[in-house]
Amino acid sequence: MRVDLTVFALVLAGLAACAPLAQGLPPAAQDYQDYCAGCHGTGGEPGPIAQELHLRPVSLADLTMMNDGNFPEARVMSKIVGHKAHGELIGAEAGNMPPFAPMLEGPTVLYDSGDGVETPTPLRLVRLMEYVRAMQQ
């Protein structure tokens, strides 16, 4: 069953209502809780929204293992930012990712995803990718 965007928005709003429980988390951990954990879980098991999705979201803690021991940094950043130039992550489907637009605000940093080109990128997006990289098992 494919999740309706309205249902998805309502579920995200419900998760946001739980935010006071997660106060005190570092900013990247809070962003992970707000944008990722509902579907991808916190390692191993999928989050509570996953059962409503057409495809099962991958555990983001297993990305390195699923990619022959290499963390797919450029693909993770592309997925967060919304570009598909580096290919899709396993199990990803267009329209099932939350909008990351609020994370585009704030300071930017020069970020090189491995291609040698430093690109101004919102700091929150880079920190979220680094948080996912630190989750690897």
Q: How far, in Å, CA of 93 to CA of 115, rounded?
A: 25
pTM for the predicted model, two decimal places: 0.71
Please report, as a single letter, which amino acid is at residue 27: P
| Domain chopping of the chain, boundaries | 5-134
Nearest Cα neighbor of 98 from 57, 67, 62 is 57
Residue 94: band (very low, low, confident or very high) from pLDDT cuts 50, 70, 90: low
Q: What H or E segment, with its residue span, contains residue 110?
A: strand 108-111
Q: pLDDT of 37-82, one tens digit each? A: 998 998 778 899 888 887 778 888 999 999 999 999 988 887 777 6
